[in-house]
Structures are given as C-alpha cells and as structure tokens.
Amino acid sequence: MREEKRYGERAIEEAELEAWPNPYPDRDYRIDITFPEFTCLCPRSGYPDFATIRISYIPDQKIVELRSLKLWLNKFRGRYISHEAATNEIFDALWRLLEPRELKVVGDFNPRGNVHTVITVERRREE
C-alpha cells in the first residue's frame, strides 16, 4: 500500500523562490540568513552531505521571502550534487531573483572522511 505524501513533502516538492518588495530600497542594509540543516547527496557515493548555508546580501528592490527560501533549500535533500555545484546554484538562483547590490553565499559542509569543505561565492553589482 502506497502512502500519500505528507503536506510538508508536497510543499517542498512544489517550492519556488519568491521575492518581495524591499521596504527600504533607498538605503544599504545587510540581511544575513543561516540555514543550519541543509542536506544533499554525494553524487559519487550517495552518502548524505550536511551543511550550514549562510546567505548575506544587501538588497536593492527585492528581498527573499523566507518561507519560500526554506522550502526551496529543502529540495536539495534528495539530489545528487557536489558541494561546489550546490553552493553556486543557490547563489545563481538568488542573484537572478533578487538582483541585489551585493550577495555572498557560503556552503559550510560538515566534515566527512576527515575533509571539511567551505565554498564561498560572492559578487557585488557594478553600478
């Protein structure tokens, strides 16, 4: 007997990043977001990889809606993807969606096999 998907599983499966209007587009301020329970699967072994994703940005006209970000990041948990590809994909999606003044995404992956990997992607928009 096949069990129906739970509402959280459906919400993650259907998740899309959503932008909201920045309430203070006339000033520079930094938004820091930490997602300490990021998971994906190693594309070689299939073992789970765990990370803390840190997002820091200075918005322009848009900010990311946090619930949409949380659900969207959870979509990675069943994907076979490298640390480098996951971190860069998160950066690219946020850069396209938000068009921020500045964006930094850090993927701080838990040690596995005595190797600790930290991937940092950052960019400042040229005026």
Catalytic residue among 26, 49, 60, 108: 49
DSSP 80: B
Structure token digits, residue 45: 């072994």
CA distance 53 to 117: 12
- Does the active-site annotation cover 49? yes
Q: Does the CA dihedral 34-40-43-48 come out positive or negative?
A: positive
Catalytic residue among 42, 60, 92, 108: 42
To 5 degrees, how large is the angle CA 51–CA 53–CA 58?
170
Structure token digits, residue 121: 């992607």
- Does the active-site annotation cover 42? yes
CA distance 89 to 67: 18
Residues annotated as catalytic (active site), given as ranges: 42, 49
